[in-house]
């Protein structure tokens, strides 16, 4: 007989591994256990089914057990939960829910891809009807049926991570008034506060309400109304609640089998996706991996890594050596009309890891300004202070955000620096970009900072500027200045600055700013060459400042 492989979990990591295993080993016996009813479903599409963006049920399922059998000759067993692993005997114990019986199945190699489960804190009232989590197809139907049948007017989404925000959007699209409650001071953990602020503003414009820096203390229910009691003392009445507080790796099986868990409580694996038991591999949301940028251990519950890890594990199980080099957490999210994307480390991670970094903010048009439809995006670039290596990026905007994050993700993978970004030769025609792509501009701006061609200050330093020793210099047009500026700033429009140098004191710190940072940089360059040495340009300009302090 050939190799016998048992797989636990039939979705992203598990199904991908099964398909790949079959391609490299036609004779292996491959058994795939899935405790739920469905395999190979589109987890990432679930919120959009609730929002009726995806209209057909069968679109949610990429492969059925039957098709998986036909095409890949996989022995798929749904409604079958693996409840125990005997690693010494190389046997798993399986509970067949349909027949309510338990049996054993031996393996040569075992792959765990059980995923992660939604966090459900033991709060009073957490199991009330009308309170949901979203992980799989039955969860999705439950939420959708509830919306279809009871027509809720109001919903509270607890937790503003990717899934929470997607649910919030899709409920709002169904006409439900959504309130988001989040413990942190901003939505979407991988972003920093200043970039998340743009998302807050956009969601508010879509009539979504926020309670940030606040958590849920308890739920109570009377007559189909749920009262959500917040730690701040506030109480919200609502018709339904969706919990999107995060996910926790499914490690019970692994822990029970004595497999090593890691620092972040995920299953520990080496670069071949092998656990502490040489015959057991694990992939996906259940494992922890090395962060490609910081080197620290990380839990990255994303489908791209899960699929790729499944493929790599399959290769290694068959003796083909393949490695997973860690993840950089590249992720993206549609939030109503805007797109939010990140790759690599954010400031929180860089600080945690003691990495000496600098950052720049730029706002560039998605394509040539003279071609219809150009619309600005905000880019935050994080890079090493010593050599300019790109460490992370966050982008929020409308069109073309996905493109720039993917270019930056590729640059990070290649170990590129901001000097390399300056030179990238990206495709330009007016409908797609500018002769200097937003990524080039971000590179120029960052390189100028590092080369000390432009000293900068950041939006969060404005409050602590000692106004008695400094001037705040707004170089925008008189009209822009009138419409709103930083308190106490003086206005000398960039195009008049050469003739008005006498108005700018040489013996003070000069904090220059414009709308996005470009004209401020031009002013900086003039002053720097006219004897001013204590000058600084506001990175990202008034736009970044205003969005972040609002």
Ligand X SMILES: CC(C)(COP(=O)(O)OP(=O)(O)OC[C@H]1O[C@@H](n2cnc3c(N)ncnc32)[C@H](O)[C@@H]1OP(=O)(O)O)[C@@H](O)C(=O)NCCC(=O)NCCS
Ligand Y SMILES: Cc1cc2nc3c(=O)[nH]c(=O)nc-3n(C[C@H](O)[C@H](O)[C@H](O)COP(=O)(O)OP(=O)(O)OC[C@H]3O[C@@H](n4cnc5c(N)ncnc54)[C@H](O)[C@@H]3O)c2cc1C
C-alpha distances in Å from residue 336, one per residue of 99, 170, 203, 248, 333: 45, 9, 8, 27, 9
Torsion 282-283-285-287 (CA) sign: positive
Spatial separation of the C-alpha atoms in residues 446 and 479, rounded to whole Å: 29
All residues at 6 or more sequence positions from 353 whose CB lies less than 8 Å from its CB, including other chains: 294, 295, 296, 345
Q: Which helix (DSSP H) or strand (DSSP E) does residue 339 occupy? A: strand 338-344
Contact between 166 and 333 (Cβ < 8 Å): yes
| Range in contact with ligand Y (rule: CB under 6 A) among 302-310, 379-387, 393-401, 519-527 | 302-310
7, 12, 314, 442: which one binds its own copies (CB under 8 A)? 12
Burial of 335 (0-12, 13-18, 19+ CB in 10 A): buried
65, 130, 301, 517: which one binds ligand Y (CB under 6 A)? 301
If one asks whether residue 53 binds its own copies (CB under 8 A), the answer comes out as: yes
- Give residues in contact with ligand X (CB under 6 A): 11-12, 15-16, 19-20, 23, 40, 42-45, 62-63, 303, 307, 311, 362, 435-436, 441, 444-445, 448, 516-518, 521
Residue (236 or 426) nearer to its own copies, CB: 426
Q: How far is the CB of 463 from ligand Y (least distance, A)?
A: 37
409, 441, 475, 548: which one binds its own copies (CB under 8 A)? 409
Q: How far is the CB of 487 from ligand Y (least distance, A)?
A: 41
Q: How far is the CB of 39 from its own copies (least distance, A)?
A: 15
Select the binding partner of residue 53 from ligand Y, its own copies, ligand X, none (C-beta < 5 to 8 A, by kind).
Answer: its own copies
**Cα 170 from chain centroid (whole Å):** 18
Select the binding partner of residue 114 from ligand X, its own copies, ligand Y, none (C-beta < 5 to 8 A, by kind).
Answer: ligand Y
All residues at 6 or more sequence positions from 410 whose CB lies less than 8 Å from its CB, including other chains: none
Rounded (10°) angle between helices 193-205 and 541-549: 70
User: By C-alpha distance, which of 356, 406, 346, 353 is closest to 381?
Assistant: 346
Q: How far is the CB of 448 from ligand X (least distance, A)?
A: 5
Q: How far is the CB of 142 from its own copies (least distance, A)?
A: 20
Q: How far is the CB of 333 from ligand Y (least distance, A)?
A: 7
83, 426, 455, 465: which one binds its own copies (CB under 8 A)? 426
Residue (435 or 506) nearer to ligand Y, CB: 435
Angle, CA of 154, 155 and 156, to the nearest 5°: 135
If one asks whether residue 302 binds ligand Y (CB under 6 A), the answer comes out as: yes
**Cα 336 from chain centroid (whole Å):** 16
Q: How far is the CB of 418 from ligand X (least distance, A)?
A: 11
Select the binding partner of residue 34 from ligand X, its own copies, ligand Y, none (C-beta < 5 to 8 A, by kind).
Answer: ligand Y
Contact between 312 and 323 (Cβ < 8 Å): yes
Select the binding partner of residue 498 from ligand Y, ligand X, its own copies, none (C-beta < 5 to 8 A, by kind).
Answer: its own copies
Query: Is residue 44 annotated as part of the catalytic site, yes or no?
Result: yes
If one asks whether residue 406 binds its own copies (CB under 8 A), the answer comes out as: yes
Spatial separation of the C-alpha atoms in residues 138 and 136, rounded to whole Å: 6
Q: How far is the CB of 154 from ligand X (least distance, A)?
A: 29
All residues at 6 or more sequence positions from 61 whose CB lies less than 8 Å from its CB, including other chains: 38, 40, 41, 42, 137
SS in 3 state form for 183-245?
CCCCCCCCCCHHHHHHHHHHHHHCCCEEECCCCEEEEEEECCEEEEEECCCCEEEECEEEECC
Spatial separation of the C-alpha atoms in residues 194 and 346, rounded to whole Å: 11
**Cα 282 from chain centroid (whole Å):** 23
Provide the edge-to-edge strand list for the sheet that holds 280-282. Answer: 75-77, 29-33, 4-8, 109-112, 280-282
Residue (193 or 432) nearer to its own copies, CB: 432
Select the binding partner of residue 328 from its own copies, ligand Y, ligand X, none (C-beta < 5 to 8 A, by kind).
Answer: its own copies
If one asks whether residue 33 binds ligand Y (CB under 6 A), the answer comes out as: yes
Contact between 227 and 235 (Cβ < 8 Å): yes
| Range in contact with ligand Y (rule: CB under 6 A) among 64-72, 283-291, 476-484, 494-502 | 283-291
Select the binding partner of residue 516 from ligand Y, ligand X, its own copies, none (C-beta < 5 to 8 A, by kind).
Answer: ligand X
Q: 44, 318, 454, 514: which is the annotated catalytic residue?
A: 44
218, 420, 477, 480: which one binds its own copies (CB under 8 A)? 420
Question: What's the first-to-final CA gap in the chain, in angstroms?
Answer: 67
Select the binding partner of residue 84 from ligand Y, its own copies, ligand X, none (C-beta < 5 to 8 A, by kind).
Answer: none
Active site residue ranges: 44
Instruction: Summarize as ranges the residues that interact with ligand Y (CB under 6 A).
Output: 8-14, 33-36, 43-44, 46-47, 81-82, 113-115, 134-136, 163, 250, 253, 284-286, 301-304, 306, 428-429
């Amino acid at each position: 007989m050939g190799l016998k492989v048992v797989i636990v979990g039939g979705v992203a990591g598990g199904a991908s591994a099964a398909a790949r295993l079959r391609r490299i080993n036609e004779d292996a016996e491959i058994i795939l256990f899935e405790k739920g009813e469905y395999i190979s479903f589109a987890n990432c599409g679930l919120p959009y089914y609730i929002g009726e963006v995806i209209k057909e049920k069968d679109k949610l399922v990429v492969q059925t057990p039957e098709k998986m059998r036909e095409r890949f000759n996989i022995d798929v067993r749904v409604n079958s939960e693996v409840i125990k692993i005997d690693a010494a005997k190389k046997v798993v114990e399986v509970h067949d829910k349909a027949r309510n019986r338990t049996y054993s199945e031996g393996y040569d190699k075992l792959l765990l891809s059980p995923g992660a489960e939604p966090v459900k804190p033991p709060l009073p009232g957490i199991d009330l009807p009308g309170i949901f989590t979203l992980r799989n197809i039955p969860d999705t139907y439950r939420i959708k049926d509830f919306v279809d049948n009871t027509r809720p007017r109001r919903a509270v989404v607890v937790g503003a991570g990717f899934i929470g925000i997607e649910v919030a959007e899709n409920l709002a699209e169904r006409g439900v008034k959504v309130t988001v409650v989040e413990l942190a001071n901003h939505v979407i953990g991988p972003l920093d506060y200043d970039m998340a602020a743009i998302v807050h503003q956009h969601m508010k414009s879509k009539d979504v309400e926020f309670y940030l820096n606040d958590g849920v203390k308890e739920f109570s229910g009377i007559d189909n109304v749920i009262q959500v009691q917040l730690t701040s003392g506030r109480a919200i009445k609502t018709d339904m609640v969706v919990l999107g507080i995060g996910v926790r790796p499914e490690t019970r099986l692994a822990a029970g089998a004595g497999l090593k868990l890691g620092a972040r409580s995920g299953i520990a694996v080496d670069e071949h996706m092998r656990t502490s038991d040489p015959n057991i591999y694990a992939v996906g949301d259940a494992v922890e991996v090395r962060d490609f940028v910081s080197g620290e251990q990380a839990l990255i519950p994303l489908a791209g890594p899960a699929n790729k890890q499944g493929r790599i594990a399959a290769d290694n199980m068959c003796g083909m050596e393949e490695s997973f080099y860690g993840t950089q957490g590249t992720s993206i999210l549609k939030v109503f009309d805007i797109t939010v994307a990140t790759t690599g480390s954010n400031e929180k991670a860089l600080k945690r890891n003691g990495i000496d970094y600098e950052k720049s903010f730029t706002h560039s048009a998605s394509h040539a300004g003279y071609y219809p439809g150009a619309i600005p995006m905000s880019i935050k670039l994080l890079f090493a202070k010593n050599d300019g290596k790109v460490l992370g990026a966050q982008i929020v905007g409308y069109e073309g955000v996905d493109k720039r994050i993917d270019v930056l993700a590729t640059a990070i993978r290649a170990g590129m620096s901001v000097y390399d970004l300056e030179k990238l030769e990206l495709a330009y025609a007016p409908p797609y970009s500018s002769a200097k792509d937003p990524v080039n501009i971000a590179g120029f701006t960052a390189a100028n900072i590092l080369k000390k061609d432009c000293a900068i200050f950041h939006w969060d330093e404005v409050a602590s500027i000692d106004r008695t020793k400094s001037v705040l210099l707004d170089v925008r047009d008189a009209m822009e200045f009138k419409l709103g500026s930083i308190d106490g700033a003086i206005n000398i429009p960039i195009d008049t600055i050469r003739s008005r140098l006498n108005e700018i004191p040489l013996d003070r710190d000069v904090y220059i700013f414009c709308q996005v940072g470009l004209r401020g940089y031009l002013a900086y360059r003039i002053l720097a060459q006219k004897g001013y040495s204590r000058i600084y340009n506001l990175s990202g300009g008034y736009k970044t400042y205003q969005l972040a302090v609002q």
